[in-house]
Chains A and B, each alone.
Chain A
Amino acid sequence: MPKWAMVIDLDKCTGCGDCMAACKLENNIAIVSPEEANVGRVMFWMDMITTYEGEYPNIKVKRIPKPCFHCDNPPCTRVCPVYATYKNDEGLVGQIYHRCIGCRYCMVACPYTAKVFNWYEPKWPDEFKSCLNPDVSLRMVGVVEKCSFCAHRLIKVKENADMEEREIYDGEYSPACGESCPTNAIYFGDIDNKESQVYKLSQSSRSYREMENLGTEPKVIYLSKRE
């Protein structure tokens, strides 16, 4: 059984935010008005953490793309009272929207704040409605949602592989963010497969995981030379 993982090379990442836009379009994520966004109700599955260091002329900027980390030991699934969020045998942490009761325990439990809540009935501008992706269900008001590693793409890849009676090859399944990245900073693959690029990169000396001391064992691995 494969174990899907993502490697983000921060030395390659320019912080352009293409992954955020691709994710937003791929997964039909609702657009929030600026006023709502200012009170912390902004909806991104792929977020961009920006930190500034130093004083004005000598500023160091860090831009870190942050999807859901799909932890091997997820804190969110433990607290869900209705099993709306769960980890499947391929290591993907999923969310079933129509089962979610919107209690937001999982949002509190997640140390990475990867989950977002639908405060309003999701709305799109009229021009946008024909852009909605039919592969991803629309969420309703009052449910929690999060990055799924584009699980709908995995289903498609699996179905194709099944029809052609072959195994999924390395790099066939990639979420929208990885596919859209202009500098190819996002790698995706099976980390249990010793031949895969993701496994090789995860063994690099530059690799680290976010908040490793918590024991959540995230499956998104960052590569960076900087501290």
Chain B
Amino acid sequence: MKKSLLDYTLKIKLPLILFVAAVSFIFTFYVSRAERDGVGYQPEQPINYSHKLHAGDMGIDCQYCHTGVSKGRHALVPSLNICMNCHTVSRKNQPEIVKLTKYYEEGKMLPWKRVHKVPDYAYFNHSVHVNKGIDCESCHGNVRQMDVISQVKPFTMTACLDCHRNPQDQLWYLNDVKRGPENCAACHR
């Protein structure tokens, strides 16, 4: 009797407990991923805007629309008049452009959903990074290939520090790159 109880524990109970623990760990790991580091976050936007078409196929420079990126802290989402520079003429009859024109004529802003988020206690300045020659791709992934924008790299403190500590590994395309600051006050204030 005693032996069979031990047998039951070792053969069935223990593997079952381990299996359930492993499955729940893996499940939580993937489900909470977007919450932890944002990877894979891909919200539905109010307009089917394609970065692949504009930035990839047509080769429009990022800074044509994201005007603030080399001047200040925020990259800035373009205001509608930048869209309308071209779209007053081109592809006026497409349904998505009609939607865009409607927003423009009503004088409203497009309610974009923000994809890349940094918490408010962390300071990040685009201009310093961009003006030192760091490519947008290093943090935002290959946007030129994305139809719907999504986050592909983690935006965690570890990710920031990885690059600040070993910039040569991450930014291999830059010849002369300084180490970023590592003290707390550089970002948290």
Contacts and interface: CB of A to CB of B under 8 A. Distances in A.
Interface of A: 86, 88-89, 92, 94, 96-98, 135-138, 148, 151-152, 154-155, 159, 162-163
Nearest to A137: B121
Given A89-B183, A98-B121, 9 more contacts: A88-B183, A88-B184, A94-B185, A136-B189, A137-B121, A152-B123, A155-B123, A159-B128, A163-B131
Interface of B: 119-121, 123, 125, 127-128, 131, 183-186, 188-189
B189 A148 contact: yes
B184 A137 contact: no
B5 to A, nearest CB: 46
Closest 7 CB pairs of A and B: A88-B183, A137-B121, A94-B185, A151-B185, A152-B189, A96-B188, A98-B121
A155 B189 contact: yes
Given A159-B128, A163-B128, A163-B131, A137 B185 contact: no
A162 B185 CA distance: 17
B125 A159 contact: yes
A138 B128 contact: no
Contacts of A92: 185
A71 to B, nearest CB: 16
B189 A151 contact: yes
A155 B121 contact: no
Nearest to B125: A159
Contacts of A162: 128
Contacts of A137: 120-121, 123, 188-189
Contacts of B119: 98
16 contacts: A88-B183, A88-B184, A89-B183, A94-B184, A97-B121, A97-B188, A98-B121, A136-B189, A137-B121, A148-B189, A152-B123, A155-B123, A155-B186, A159-B125, A159-B128, A163-B128
